[in-house]
């Protein structure tokens, strides 16, 4: 695979293009995910279709930059409409998104049918925007993507502080005298740019996954915006390269869907494996907490039973402890674990009693509980 | 009109009505984008079902699609239930992944079969009359029409029989749960209906129009009424309007029918957004203007009453003084005075302003209110 990447010129071009678009969309997607506007990307990418067709209509050119301009214009228009309808009327954000995406896309279809009727039409390339055709990327496309994407990332760097405030506490930004509307509009614009860069390669349907996936994955690994931004860009770029190379290894494996699946795998791995936040961590933590809780409750039960008698190490039947314990887990395992820690000891065949260390632990637990209760008050 | 044209319109109407009914609940439950997700994610369900049964027209394909639709809902909800990812991000992740699986399966194993991914998105209503359903030699009409009518009736029956439960679960899920109405079960049945509707409709009109017809008409209705029942009726009405006028626009332009219907939905929505009574932009604007003038007139009467009968009255209660005291622009002040005179709150005599009884009442009411 790596050999292919290094030797094959076409694959190298495609992989580079995919890396750039993954990097830019992953990075800009970070803000969308944090601002709970993840699905805006889906609406924008669908809304770009009429823009692409009109750009081609007007100029007759299929150069990336021309089509990108058309796509960007309509993407921005759709964003503006969605945000203002949501702000001015009682229409909710999700409803506005759904209408924008389907209506603009429908308009794009109408325009496409016009185009197909033109006798001179060489519109064959435009349908690729539906599903994308990364394999058709040429060097000039990649250069355009690199320049536009680089500029977008540069602007993010310049307005980093402002975008950070816009993502977490816009009211604070306003109180500082920042023009939040302008900052948010700029952020939206860059978001549209990121989408437009990716459309040709992955198409309108799959674009949203490339915006959300890397950012959602990156979110699991860190609580810092700068790190999340960097990790998302990296995951996006990796998904792009992996997707391009995998799809090149076999015939009839379209690149866009493979890139999306790669991003999906990154998300899955992050959701499960990320330290602290990940599900695996949560399961392990729950299991540990559960075990400690069951052990402590058996210990307390034993203490409660023993306190009916004259000495705290008065032994009791395991069967009694079983009755008092968690009905599913029982007490056997907990007793074994407690014995390993030297907190209880077996007396005779089936009886258990607290050791001195066990009594000390019980007192510590009770101390902690009453301290907690005091803390509550 | 030729019989084909009538049949195309009938199919379009059946699709529109069947989509509008569950769509109304989707937008009220803030799940509009679920229709987008489901209508895309059913692709792998169709493909897998096709691989299993080996024919394109088997009803099992619809079953497969409906299962995929429900799987989308379950996946989205279990991902957002981890609280690691917000619900909107979960939606935006799940459906492209499932759609990708579908596209890959087709590309890899069904490249030579007519399972065209473009058609999933765009559909072709013009072909609907040619795919007919015949039972025992009797022509029952276009298959799409029969399918969509059946789905529409199923939607209607479900909504009518569980209307009060659905309403409660939509507006107050907590109360519905505490009364034992099982909002979760209703939710999944509703999502199942959305899936089945999307499956039936996308064959005829493509997944994008499914989204347009599920969300657009109910959104228009939502701007016009606060009553659930009326909203459902209006949704269906707007759906039918978009279906029929969309068809004729397409006929006139000789363009994609689904595309034109979606575009008409957009145009109708924009008109409603602009003109809806009470909630439209125009009436919001008019209300704001009216309130601005009413407030200014109130301010004027309060100002005049403040100084009425006091020594400084002759200085304060002149038209010319308002600019300085209330910080109004000159022509705004003139307009306000003119309006106040017209409304009978104030009379003007020789450059001095005097309150009428009505004006005095307005001022005291305003001050007491404050």
Q: pLDDT (tens digit, 9 = 90+) per residue, B264-297?
A: 999 999 999 999 988 889 998 999 999 999 998 8
Residue A349 DSSP code: T
Partner residue opposite B279 with nearest CB, options A33, A90, A271: A90
CA A343/CA A357 separation, integer angstroms: 5
Return the residue in A105, A132, A246 with the most chain B beta carbons within 10 A, the one to mutate for interface testing: A105
CB distance B96–A205 less than 8 Å?
yes
The tens digit of pLDDT for each residue in B309-354 reads 787 777 777 777 777 777 888 888 888 888 888 988 988 887 788 8
CB distance A109–B97 less than 8 Å?
no
Nearest CA in chain A to B121: A130
CB distance A89–B281 less than 8 Å?
yes
Quickly state the pLDDT bin for A2 (edges 50, 70, 90). low
Nearest CA in chain B to A33: B89
Give the helix/strand (H/E) hosting B353. strand B352-355
Quickly state the pLDDT bin for A123 (edges 50, 70, 90). low
CA B358/CA B341 separation, integer angstroms: 11
Distance of residue B85 Cα from the nearest chain A Cα, in angstroms: 7
Class of domain A281-371: mainly alpha
Residue A323, pLDDT > 80, answer yes
CB distance A271–B85 less than 8 Å?
yes
The residue with greater pLDDT, A40 or B307, is: A40
What average pLDDT does the segment A161-190 reach? 91
Chain A contacts of B96, Cβ < 8 Å? 205-209, 260
CA B302/CA B127 separation, integer angstroms: 70
Which phi and psi angles does B171 have, rounded to 5°?
A: -95, -25
Residue B116, pLDDT > 60, answer no
* Contact criterion met (CB below 8 Å) for B208 and B262: yes
Note the pLDDT of residue A3: 66
* Contact criterion met (CB below 8 Å) for A71 and A196: yes
Residue A275, pLDDT > 70, answer yes
Note the pLDDT of residue A240: 92
What average pLDDT does the segment A193-217 reach? 89
CB distance A109–B32 less than 8 Å?
no
Angle CA A64–A69–A72, to nearest 5: 115
Partner residue opposite A254 with nearest CB, options B93, B104, B219: B104
Chain B contacts of A278, Cβ < 8 Å? 84
Chain B contacts of A41, Cβ < 8 Å? 92
Report DSSP letters for B231-245, one per residue.
HHHHHHHHHHHHHHH
Distance of residue B228 Cα from the nearest chain A Cα, in angstroms: 15
Query: What dihedral angle (degrees, nearest 10) is formed by the CA atoms of B53, B55, B59, B60?
Result: 20
Query: What dihedral angle (degrees, nearest 10) is formed by the CA atoms of B111, B114, B120, B124?
Result: 150
Note the pLDDT of residue A376: 55
Tell which residue, A25, A33, A44, A32, has the closest CA to residue A239.
A25
Tell which residue, A263, A49, A252, has the closest CA to residue A135.
A252
Residue A126, pLDDT > 70, answer no
Which phi and psi angles does A338 have, rounded to 5°?
A: -65, -35
Residue A121, pLDDT > 80, answer no
**What mean pLDDT value characterizes chain A?**
88
Nearest CA in chain B to A213: B93
CA A101/CA B212 separation, integer angstroms: 8
**Tokens representing B96?**
């492209």
CA A291/CA B204 separation, integer angstroms: 57
Question: CB neighbours of A8 closer than 8 A, spacing ≥ 6?
Answer: A248
**Tokens representing B14?**
């059946």
The tens digit of pLDDT for each residue in B191-236 reads 888 988 988 887 777 778 899 999 999 999 999 999 999 999 999 9
Return the residue in A32, A85, A90, A102 with the most chain B beta carbons within 10 A, the one to mutate for interface testing: A102
Nearest CA in chain A to B119: A130
SS3 B346: strand
CA A29/CA A52 separation, integer angstroms: 22
Tell which residue, B192, B259, B150, has the closest CA to residue B45.
B192
CB distance B219–A106 less than 8 Å?
no
Q: Where are the domains of chain A?
A: 2-274, 281-371
Nearest CA in chain B to A38: B89
Question: CB neighbours of B209 closer than 8 A, spacing ≥ 6?
Answer: A102, A106, B15, B123, B201, B258, B261, B262
Q: What percent of chain A has pLDDT over 70?
A: 94
CB distance B88–A37 less than 8 Å?
yes
| CATH fold of the domain at A2-274 | ABC transporter involved in vitamin B12 uptake, BtuC (1.10.3470)
Q: How many CA atoms lie within 13 A of B78 on its CB side?
A: 9
On the 0-12 / 13-18 / 19+ scale of CB atoms within 10 A, B281 is middle
Note the pLDDT of residue B316: 76
Distance of residue B65 Cα from the nearest chain A Cα, in angstroms: 18
Reading phi first (left if > 0) and then psi (alpha if -120 to 50, else beta), residue A314 is in beta
Distance of residue B92 Cα from the nearest chain A Cα, in angstroms: 6
β-partners of residue B139 are B134
Residue A1, pLDDT > 60, answer no
What average pLDDT does the segment B299-305 reach? 87
CB distance B255–A219 less than 8 Å?
no
The tens digit of pLDDT for each residue in B5-52 reads 898 899 999 999 999 999 999 999 999 999 999 988 888 988 898 888
Q: Give the CATH number of domain B282-369.
A: 1.10.10.10
Chain A contacts of B101, Cβ < 8 Å? 257, 261
Class of domain B3-277: mainly alpha
Residue A253, pLDDT > 90, answer no
The residue with greater pLDDT, B156 or B368, is: B156
Distance of residue A107 Cα from the nearest chain B Cα, in angstroms: 5
CB distance A209–B96 less than 8 Å?
yes
Report DSSP letters for A103-168, one per residue.
HHHHHHHHHHHHHHH-TT--GGGGGHHHH--GGG--HHHHHHHHHHHHHHHHHHHHTHHHHHHHHH
Look-up of token digits 């039972």: B135
Chain A contacts of B260, Cβ < 8 Å? 106, 110
Residue A148, pLDDT > 90, answer yes
Angle CA A134–B105–B142, to nearest 5: 110
The tens digit of pLDDT for each residue in A332-374 reads 888 888 888 888 888 888 888 888 888 888 888 888 888 777 6
Chain A contacts of B250, Cβ < 8 Å? 110
Rounded to 10 deg, the angle between the B3-28 and B163-171 helix axes is 50
* Sign of the C-alpha dihedral computed for residues A269, A272, A277 and A280 taken in this order: negative
Tell which residue, A331, A287, A323, A286, has the closest CA to residue A339.
A331
The tens digit of pLDDT for each residue in B42-101 reads 889 888 988 888 777 777 888 888 889 889 999 999 998 888 999 899 999 999 999 999
* Sign of the C-alpha dihedral computed for residues A314, A317, A321 and A324 taken in this order: negative
Instruction: State ipTM.
Output: 0.87
**Tokens representing A293?**
């809780």
Highest-confidence segment of A144-148, A303-307, B143-147, B320-324: A144-148
Look-up of token digits 């954000």: A93
CB distance A90–B261 less than 8 Å?
no
**Tokens representing A374?**
């005091």
Note the pLDDT of residue A119: 66
CA A148/CA A143 separation, integer angstroms: 9
Record the pTM.
0.86
Note the pLDDT of residue B118: 57
β-partners of residue A354 are A344
CB distance B122–A109 less than 8 Å?
yes
In B115-169, DSSP assigns E strands to: 132-135, 138-142
Q: Where are the domains of chain B?
A: 3-277, 282-369
Quickly state the pLDDT bin for A206 (edges 50, 70, 90). confident
Query: What dihedral angle (degrees, nearest 10) is formed by the CA atoms of A73, A85, B73, B199?
Result: -70
Nearest CA in chain A to B24: A95
């Amino acid at each position: 695979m790596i050999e292919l990447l290094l030797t094959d010129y076409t694959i190298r071009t495609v992989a580079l293009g995919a890396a750039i678009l993954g990097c830019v969309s992953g990075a800009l997607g970070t803000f969308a995910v944090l601002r709970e506007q993840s699905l805006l990307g889906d609406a924008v990418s669908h809304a770009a279709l009429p823009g692409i067709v009109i750009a081609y209509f007007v100029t007759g050119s299929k150069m990336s930059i021309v089509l990108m301009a058309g796509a960007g214009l309509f993407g921005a228009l759709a964003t503006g409409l969605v945000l203002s309808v949501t702000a001015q009327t009682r229409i909710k954000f999700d409803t506005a998104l759904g209408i924008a995406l389907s209506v603009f896309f429908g308009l794009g279809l109408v325009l496409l049918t016009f185009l197909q009727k033109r006798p001179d039409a060489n519109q064959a390339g435009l349908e690729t925007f539906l599903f994308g055709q990364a394999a058709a990327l040429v060097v000039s496309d990649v250069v355009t993507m690199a320049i536009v994407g680089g500029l977008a990332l540069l602007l993010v760097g310049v307005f980093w502080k402002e975008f950070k405030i816009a993502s977490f506490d816009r009211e604070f930004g306003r109180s500082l005298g920042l023009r939040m509307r302008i900052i948010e509009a700029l952020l939206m614009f860059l978001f549209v740019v990121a989408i437009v860069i990716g459309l040709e390669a992955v198409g309108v349907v799959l674009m949203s996954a490339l915006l959300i996936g890397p950012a959602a994955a990156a979110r699991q690994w860190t609580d810092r915006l700068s790190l999340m931004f960097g990790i998302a860009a990296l995951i996006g770029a990796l998904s792009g390269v992996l997707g391009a190379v995998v799809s090149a290894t076999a015939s009839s494996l379209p690149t866009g869907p493979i890139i999306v699946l790669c991003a999906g795998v990154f998300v899955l791995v992050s959701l499960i494996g990320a330290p602290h936040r990940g599900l695996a961590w949560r399961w392990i933590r729950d299991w540990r907490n559960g075990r400690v809780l069951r052990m402590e409750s058996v210990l307390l039960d034993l203490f409660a039973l023993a306190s009916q008698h004259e000495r705290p190490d008065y032994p009791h039947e395991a069967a009694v402890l079983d009755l008092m314990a968690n009905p599913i887990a029982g007490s056997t395992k907990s007793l074994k674990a407690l014995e390993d820690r030297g907190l209880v000891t077996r007396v005779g065949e089936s009886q258990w009693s607290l050791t001195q260390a066990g009594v000390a632990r019980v007192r510590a637990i009770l101390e902690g509980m009453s301290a907690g209760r005091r803390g509550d008050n | 009109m030729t019989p084909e044209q009538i049949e195309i319109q009938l199919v379009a109407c059946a699709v529109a009505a069947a989509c509008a009914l569950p769509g109304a609940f989707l937008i009220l439950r803030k799940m509009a984008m679920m229709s987008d997700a489901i209508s895309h994610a059913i692709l792998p369900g169709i493909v897998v079902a096709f691989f299993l049964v080996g024919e394109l027209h088997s009803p099992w394909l619809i079953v497969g699609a409906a299962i995929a639709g429900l799987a989308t809902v379950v996946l989205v909800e279990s991902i957002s239930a981890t609280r690691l990812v917000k619900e909107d991000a979960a939606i935006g992740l799940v459906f492209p992944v499932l759609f990708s699986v579908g596209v890959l399966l087709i590309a890899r194993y069904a490249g030579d079969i007519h399972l065209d991914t473009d058609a999933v998105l765009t559909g072709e209503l013009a072909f609907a009359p040619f795919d007919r359903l015949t039972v025992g030699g009797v022509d029952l009409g276009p298959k799409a029409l029969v399918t969509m009518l059946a789905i529409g009736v199923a939607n209607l029956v479900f909504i009518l029989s569980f209307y009060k439960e659905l309403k409660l679960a939509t507006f107050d899920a907590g109360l519905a749960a505490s009364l034992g109405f099982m909002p979760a079960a209703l939710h999944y049945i509703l999502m199942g209906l959305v899936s089945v509707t999307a499956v039936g409709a996308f064959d005829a009109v493509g997944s994008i129009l499914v989204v347009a017809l599920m969300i657009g008409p109910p959104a228009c209705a939502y701007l016009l009424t606060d009553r659930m029942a009326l909203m459902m009726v209006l949704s269906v009405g707007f759906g039918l309007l978009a279906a029929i006028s969309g068809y004729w626009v397409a006929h006139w332009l000789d363009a994609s029918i689904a595309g034109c219907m979606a575009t008409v939905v957009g145009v109708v929505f924009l008109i409603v957004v602009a003109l809806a009574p009470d909630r439209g932009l125009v009436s919001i604007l008019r209300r704001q203007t009216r309130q601005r003038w009413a407030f200014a007139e109130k301010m004027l009467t309060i100002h005049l009453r403040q100084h009425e009968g006091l020594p400084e009255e002759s200085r304060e209660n002149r038209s010319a003084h308002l600019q300085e005291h209330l910080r109004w622009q000159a022509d705004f002040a003139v307009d306000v005075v003119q309006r106040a005179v017209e409304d009978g709150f104030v009379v003007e005599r020789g450059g001095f302003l005097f309150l009428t009884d009505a004006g005095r009442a307005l001022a005291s009411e305003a001050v007491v209110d404050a």
